[in-house]
Amino acid sequence: MNERAEAGRQAARVHGATGDWEIVIGIEVHAQVSSKAKLFSGASADFGGEPNDHVSLVDAAMPGMLPVINEYCVEQAVRTGLGLNAQINLHSVFDRKNYFYPDLPQGYQISQYQQPVVGEGAVELDMPDGSTVEIGIERLHLEQDAGKSLHDQHPTASFVDLNRSGVALMEIVSKPDMRSADEAKAYVSKLRAILRYLGTCDGNMEQGSMRADINVSVRHPGEPLGTRCEIKNVNSIRFMGQAIDYEAHRQVDLLEDGGQVVQETRLFDPRRGETRAMRTKEEAHDYRYFPDPDLLPLELDQAWVDQIAGSLPELPDSKKARFVEQYGLSAYDAGVLADDKAAADYFETVASGADPKIAANWVTGELYAALNKKGLEIEASPVAPEALRDLLGLMADQTISGRIAKDVFEIMLETGEAPLSIVEARGLKQVTDTGAIEQIVEEIIAANPDQVAEVKEKPKAIGWFVGQVMKASQGKANPQAVNDVLRNKLGLDQT
């Protein structure tokens, strides 16, 4: 932990009447494995579907049905574990977690309790202030998702749909290493980026293929951990910040009023921006975990694990380091680009034919702004990376100026036309012919004697002349040439 990170953490504390409170956050992420079929049955794992359509007799827990594990899901768990620099356990065990709930047809969830497939690992976060924070991973295990209950379809009944029942989840448990909502948000974003890079989870929080349960407690710095509350139902990274801030302040207020935090599960209500205790008060949880006797232990082969390790793609951290090294980007720009595989790929295509720093500025500046306005992901950008590369090429070889480039980019966004044809069709080529520029300059000097007198006193006022010349040339004059000619004609020093 560097000093800057420490300073950031101190700034994130809650200032209470009894002093500063440190927020302690641990996160359990449930990430749906991007498999075709479910973890223990051959039914489709696709989102949606008519009620109880993606359901096998195994998922509906019919008498005598037995689970058979999906090898792809095991492989993705191992791949993810490797991507989190984590210990892969060659021997792991599936346990039953027993409890009654209508969307849990077996009366137990098959999960991994004492011997998960993946052990300890770590994730590095790049904070906007340039600091780096390492968050420990406690474990990753495979488990089944539950079905879905709909409570608003009928006055006295809940409707149960088992389409999600048995879908493969990776539960990724962090250590309680985060100290602010920003770190929590950065952690989930980073985890999402890694999963998407690996292709093991699509990271779609709206459809619930990635969900975060957030454990929040507060304490005075240096004190032992306080009692935590678990916040469920946080289905966007933006809500996470709200939920944590609300919950931390609630706990501080409670404690400072002489109260106590009760360990409980709370739901985040995005409309009110509040958390509230769940009304279903489960009596003291006693899940009676024991090894699932329908399944044998999961034994993996080290050579197979090594083979997966050898096939991992370049992950955000190494990509970021490479972007700094290879392209000379700032750590922050490199991090922003590397955290989104599509953006990183887009950038690299642009940078293959343009100055990398200018390419990075255009991607994170103009392009992001335009996509944001249109509500598009970078994969759906109307301007292909090759087209942007060509546009920057036209700027580099002085065919167009930077100002014209922005206009051309706007046209590209709307029409999808190639930059060169836009420039040619609309006569936007930059004028570098000194004769033509001299003529304009002379006309402007002749028409503005007062300004000529002024610029001799204050050479900085040359900017006004540049503006006039550019205007007269409809932006096509090469700014450097304009500058040179003006200085010459006005008798100023060349810069």
Partner 1 sequence: MSIDQATVRHIARLARIRVSDEEARQFEGELSSILTWVEQLEAVDTNDVEPMTSVIEVDMKQRRDEVTDGGMPDKVVANAPERENHFFLVPKVVE
Partner 2 sequence: MTNLTKLTLSDARDGLRGKDFSAVELAQAHIDAIGQAGQLNAFVTETPDIALEMAARSDERIARGEAGPLEGVPLGIKDLFCTKDTLTTASSHILDGFVPAYESTVTANLWRDGAVMLGKTNCDEFAMGSSNETSYYGPVINPWRRASDGAQLVPGGSSGGSASAVAARLCLAATATDTGGSIRQPGALTGLVGLKPTYGRCSRWGIVAFASSLDQAGPLTRSVRDAAIMLTSMAGHDAKDTTSVDLPVPDYEAALTGDIRGMRIGIPKEYRIDGMPAEIDALWQQGISWLQDAGAEVRDITLPHTQYALPAYYIVAPAEASSNLARYDGVRYGLRVPGDDITDMYENTRAAGFGAEVKRRILIGTYVLSAGYYDAYYIKAQKVRTLIKRDFEQAFEDVDLILTPTTPNAAFAPGEITDPVTMYLNDIFTVTVNMAGLPGISVPAGLSSDGLPLGLQLIGKAFDEETLFRGAGVLEEAAGFDAEPDVWWA
Q: Which residues bind partner 1 (CB under 8 A)?
A: 35-37, 41-44, 50-60, 68-74, 93, 100, 102, 149-151, 153-162, 267, 278-280, 283, 286, 288, 291, 295-299
100, interface contact from partner 2, Zn ion, Mg ion, none, CB < 5-8 Å by kind: partner 2
Residue 103 Cβ vs partner 1, minimum distance, rounded to whole Å: 9
Instruction: Report the nearest approach of partner 2 to the CB of residue 102 (Å).
Output: 6
Pick from 340, 43, 28: nearest CA to 169: 28
- Give the rounded distance of the alpha carbon of 187 from its chain centre: 9
Q: Which position among 108, 239, 323, 409 is part of the footprint of partner 2 (CB under 8 A)?
A: 108
Q: Smaller CB distance to partner 2: residue 113 or 464?
A: 113
Query: Which residues are registered as beta bridge partners of 92?
Result: 298
Residue 166 in contact with partner 2, rule: CB under 8 A: no
Q: Are 139 and 120 in contact (CB under 8 A)?
A: yes
Closer residue to partner 2 in complex, CB, 47/101 = 101
Binding mask 20-39 for Mg ion (x = CB under 5 A): --------x-----------
The one of Mg ion, partner 1, partner 2, none whose footprint includes residue 35, by CB under 5 to 8 A per kind, is partner 1
Tell me how far apart the alpha carbons of residues 265 and 276 are, in angstroms, rounded to a whole number.
Answer: 9
Give the shortest CB-37-to-partner 1 separation in angstroms: 5
Q: Which of 171, 183, 317, 340 binds Zn ion (CB under 5 A)?
A: 171
54 binds, among partner 2, Zn ion, partner 1, none (CB under 5 to 8 A by kind): partner 1
CA–CA gap between residue 404 and residue 396 (Å, rounded): 12
Alpha-carbon distances, residue 42 vs 31, 37, 59, 123, 485 (angstroms): 19, 5, 9, 33, 76
The residue (of 28 and 355) whose beta carbon lies closer to Mg ion is 28
**Measured CA angle at 83 (ends 344, 166), to 5 deg:** 110
The amino acid that residue 328 corresponds to is: G
312 binds, among Zn ion, Mg ion, partner 2, none (CB under 5 to 8 A by kind): none
Q: Tell whether residue 105 is a contact of partner 2 (CB under 8 A).
A: yes
Q: Which two tokens stand for residue 356?
A: 């990398």
> Positive or negative, the Cα torsion across 217, 220, 221, 222?
negative
Q: What's the longest Cα–Cα distance across the chain?
A: 99
Q: Residue 66 binds what, of Zn ion, partner 1, partner 2, none (CB under 5 to 8 Å, by partner type)? A: partner 2
| Cβ atoms of residues 237 and 189 within 8 Å | yes
The entry of partner 2, Mg ion, Zn ion, none near residue 107 (CB within 5 to 8 angstroms by kind) is partner 2
Minimum CB separation of residue 97 from Mg ion in Å reads 9
Q: Phi-psi bin for 131: left (phi > 0), alpha (psi -120 to 50), beta?
A: beta
Q: Rounded distance, CA 294 to CA 68, Å?
A: 9
Least distance from partner 2 to the Cβ atom of residue 33, Å: 19
Cβ at position 84, least distance to partner 1 in Å? 22
Residues 266-305 that bind Zn ion (CB under 5 A): none
E-only strand ranges, 265-312: 265-269, 274-277, 290-291, 298-299
| Beta partners for residue 369, in sequence order | none
Contacts with Mg ion, residue ranges (CB under 5 A)? 28
Contacts with Zn ion, residue ranges (CB under 5 A)? 171
